Amino acid sequence: MENEKMSGQPTEPQNESDISKETKVGEQVKSTDQPAELESEATPLVSANEAQSDSVDELAPEVASEPEVASEPEVSSEPEVEQEPVVASVPEVSTEPESEEEPVVASEPEVSTEPESEQEPEASSEESTDSLDSEAEKSAETFYQDIRQKAEEFVLQPDWAYVSNELANLALKISEGPEPDAEGSKQAIAAFQTLRDEFEARKKAHYEELNQKRADNLERKKKILKQLSDLIEAQNWTATKEIRSIQQQWEQIKLLPASEVDALNKRFDGLLEEFENHKVDRLVKKLQKEEENLTLKLLLLEKIQDLNGKADQASADFVALNDELQDLQNQWRKVGRVPLDRNQHTWDQFYAALDQFSELRYKHDASYRNSVEKALQKKQKLIKEAESLLDMEDLAEAARRVNKLHKLWKKTGNLPQKEENELWDTFKAATDAFNDKKSENLEELRAIEQKNYELKLALIQQAISIKEADNSENGHQKMQDLMAEWKKIGPVPRKKSSKIWKQFKEVMDEFYNQRREHFKDVRKEHKENLKKKNEIIEQLNALADHDDPAIAVQEAKKLQDTFKEIGHVPIKLKNKVWKDYREVCDKIYGNYRSSGTDLGMERKLASEGLDPSTRKQVITSQKKLDAAMKTITALEAEIIQFQEAKTYFKPTNKGNALLDDLDNKIATAKNKLDQKHAEAYELKKSIDLLKNKGSE
């Protein structure tokens, strides 16, 4: 080590911990031990240091190609090349070359051939070294404080190599400086060493970060290479856009490990070349296919022309000819592209042939002519409506109308191509003119749409009130009225249209769900009522076969009262239930009338001691009473039927003649019923008087 220091030649670079140790050893060197020797070696060491810096500068172009260094951070291929600094320490002067080549070492200062601008760091180093030499006569404390101050300035600079070199020179000066006896000198040396250690730590972190970035970029490029390889393996020769994107991603990644660059680029370029070769083959095949498509389309044009020749006859079967033409059109659409220079001309020929067929069909086919004329009238009407949109005051309504007109135009039958194009141009010009007007009055349109939006919000609130208050038939009618009102209101702002309709529909759906639940319970009740009434009808059928018609009548009256108390039945079965009920009641009372009950009454009255004349009067009154009671029963049943019929009418604010007629019938029946009750009461009273009088 001593020999190397004396000769001024640097050794091979060691790790950073070794450099730090060597620096500390240098700090402990005493100037009193070998003053003459150190003074004589100072100049060669500085010269060697400068020479080493020159060597690093000369190696910079080689570093740009990113050689891999085994123990030091790798250097990026980016324009700014990070160089490892030349580190000088006592007793050894160490550098950290970026390439695998041995650094050029000179024992004497070399004259650099680099541009003058690149020699500025070395010049600055010489000036700083000379300046420190010239201050050797100063006190030790001032000497070391100046070194510390210089170190503080250097560590703030961004050039890692330059700063490392300067710190190494300062370390050399410390080793050659006077004895640091004073506390201030020791503190200055310690501060310098701290600055240098912190700088070396930052430098190490910087190069570790570069290495990590290189590793990450390597993984990214491998993934990109995998994407490209997958496209090639899949033989996706049309993926031009994907390939262009992959190339852009590849070129954006610059910083890589030097050992991987050539292999990656070689593999990438090989895959690109393979894709381009297949791309050329595909283009050739595409051109050949286009020529084949052109031949096919020209053949189809000839067939359409032959078809037109058949159509130019009054006896032509245009139904069959039109089917054949449709088949040729479908074949035409299935054929792919033709060469670009023949594309427009081919399509012009195709449309001309279709127009010719339409003209011939219009000439010879009366039904087609009528359909064309109807379609023509409809489209002319649509054009007039489109032109009238400019005069409408309600821009929002006009805007909604123009959309409907476009939909109607598409639904209207087609015309021959020439007429169709002319009418479409006129229609489109009218709608475009309105759209221009709409664009000029957007503020007014927005105001109208906002007003409509507020009106629809109010309808939603009304719907919510109806939903919460009423789920009956009346509520249903109110909801239907709200829906009709909603449709009358014009459009709302487009961004709010879907949302407000969703709100309104949700309220409607919720109302009708509740209504269905309500009527589910009602239908259940109707089914139960049906079951009860059928049971009563079965009991009445049993009474119809009773041996004593009089008893049967008495029992039937009780059942009739129960029947009247039961509620409604399902509307579909209402008439059938009523028919069965009336038939069995008529049978019971018919049996009673045909049984000669007056003879039995004669015997009964005679047993009670009534004379014949009185018995005759009683029997006559009893018959009248029976007739009155039968009429009463019939009237009561009639009233019940009318009242049930009323329940199946929907309530409405308008008058209903049928409902009014039912009310009149019910009122008339009730009046008759009251009269018959009065008549029956008088007859019962008369019979009781006769019986009492006869028994006396």
pLDDT digits (tens, 9 = 90+) for 675-687: 888 888 888 888 8
pLDDT above 70: residue 256: yes
Is the separation of the CB atoms in 559 and 539 below 8 Å?
yes
pLDDT band for position 69 (cuts 50, 70, 90) = very low
pLDDT above 70: residue 478: yes
Instruction: Give me the phi and psi of 17, to 5 degrees please.
Output: -65, -35
| Sequence-ordered list of residues with C-beta below 8 angstroms from that of 454, at least 6 positions apart, any chain | none
Report the alpha-carbon distance of residue 330 to residue 323 in Å, rounded: 11
pLDDT above 70: residue 375: yes
The distance from CA 312 to its chain's CA centroid, rounded to whole angstroms, is 55
Report the alpha-carbon distance of residue 434 to residue 415 in Å, rounded: 25
Range in 113-117, 136-140, 164-168, 528-532 with the lowest mean pLDDT: 113-117
Report the alpha-carbon distance of residue 210 to residue 256 in Å, rounded: 9
Mean pLDDT of 366-393: 84
pLDDT band for position 18 (cuts 50, 70, 90) = very low
Q: 155: how many CB neighbours lie within 10 A of its CB? A: 15
pLDDT band for position 549 (cuts 50, 70, 90) = low
Report the alpha-carbon distance of residue 401 to residue 308 in Å, rounded: 40
Map residue 87 onto helix, strand or coil. strand
Decide which of 579 and 7 is more confident: 579
**pLDDT number for residue 646:** 75
DSSP secondary-structure letter at 638?
H
Mean pLDDT of 499-504: 88
Q: What is the pLDDT of residues 52-62, one digit of tens each?
A: 334 333 333 33
| Sequence-ordered list of residues with C-beta below 8 angstroms from that of 336, at least 6 positions apart, any chain | 289, 290, 293
**pLDDT number for residue 4:** 34
Range in 65-74, 122-131, 359-368, 633-642 with the lowest mean pLDDT: 65-74
Q: What does the block give as tokens for 563?
A: 């029947």
Mean pLDDT of 381-403: 80
Range in 76-90, 186-200, 665-679 with the lowest mean pLDDT: 76-90
95 strand-pairing partners: 86
**pLDDT number for residue 469:** 74
Report the alpha-carbon distance of residue 84 to residue 71 in Å, rounded: 12
Classify burial at 630, counting beta carbons within 10 Å of its beta carbon; exposed 0-12, middle 13-18, buried 19 or more.
Answer: middle
Mean pLDDT of 620-635: 86
Decide which of 589 and 344 is more confident: 344
Q: What does the block give as tokens for 71?
A: 């123990």
| Sequence-ordered list of residues with C-beta below 8 angstroms from that of 385, at least 6 positions apart, any chain | 401, 405
**pLDDT number for residue 136:** 44
**pLDDT number for residue 23:** 37
**pLDDT number for residue 472:** 59
Work out the angle at residue 422's Cα, subtended by the Cα atoms of residues 420 and 427, and round it to the nearest 5 degrees.
90
Taking only Cα atoms into account, the Rg of the chain, rounded to an integer number of angstroms, comes to: 57
**pLDDT number for residue 612:** 64
Q: Over the chain, what is the mean pLDDT?
A: 74
Mean pLDDT of 133-137: 43
Q: 235: how many CB neighbours lie within 10 A of its CB? A: 11
Decide which of 574 and 44 is more confident: 574
**pLDDT number for residue 627:** 86
Q: What is the pTM of this model?
A: 0.34
pLDDT above 60: residue 220: yes
Please give the C-alpha separations between residue 64 and each of 57, 98, 217, 406, in angstroms, as whole numbers.
12, 10, 17, 67
Is the separation of the CB atoms in 13 and 99 below 8 Å?
no
**pLDDT number for residue 416:** 75
Of the CA atoms within 13 Å of residue 665, those in its CB half-sphere come to 18
pLDDT above 60: residue 389: yes
Mean pLDDT of 267-285: 84
Q: What is the pLDDT of residues 555-579, one digit of tens each?
A: 888 888 888 888 787 877 888 888 8
| Sequence-ordered list of residues with C-beta below 8 angstroms from that of 614, at least 6 positions apart, any chain | 605, 690, 691, 693, 694
pLDDT band for position 224 (cuts 50, 70, 90) = very high
Instruction: Give me the phi and psi of 382, to 5 degrees please.
Output: -65, -35
Map residue 108 onto helix, strand or coil. coil
Instruction: Give me the phi and psi of 85, to 5 degrees please.
Output: -70, 155
Q: 275: how many CB neighbours lie within 10 A of its CB? A: 20
Matching residue, tokens 């008369």? 686
Please give the C-alpha separations between residue 641 and each of 69, 277, 303, 577, 648, in angstroms, as whole numbers.
111, 94, 77, 11, 12
Map residue 28 onto helix, strand or coil. coil
pLDDT > 70 in the chain, percent: 73
Report the alpha-carbon distance of residue 81 to residue 201 in Å, rounded: 20
pLDDT above 50: residue 419: yes
pLDDT above 60: residue 127: no
Q: What does the block give as tokens for 218?
A: 């390597």
**pLDDT number for residue 163:** 92
Range in 144-148, 158-162, 228-232, 553-557 with the lowest mean pLDDT: 553-557
pLDDT above 80: residue 648: no
pLDDT above 50: residue 65: no
pLDDT above 70: residue 105: no
pLDDT > 90 in the chain, percent: 10
| Sequence-ordered list of residues with C-beta below 8 angstroms from that of 47, at least 6 positions apart, any chain | 8, 106, 107, 108, 109
pLDDT band for position 621 (cuts 50, 70, 90) = confident
Pairing mode, strands 93-95 and 86-88: antiparallel
Where do the structural domains in the chain lie, given as residue ranges? 2-212, 380-461+473-502, 522-695
pLDDT above 80: residue 166: yes
Mean pLDDT of 601-617: 67
Report the alpha-carbon distance of residue 17 to residue 83 in Å, rounded: 19
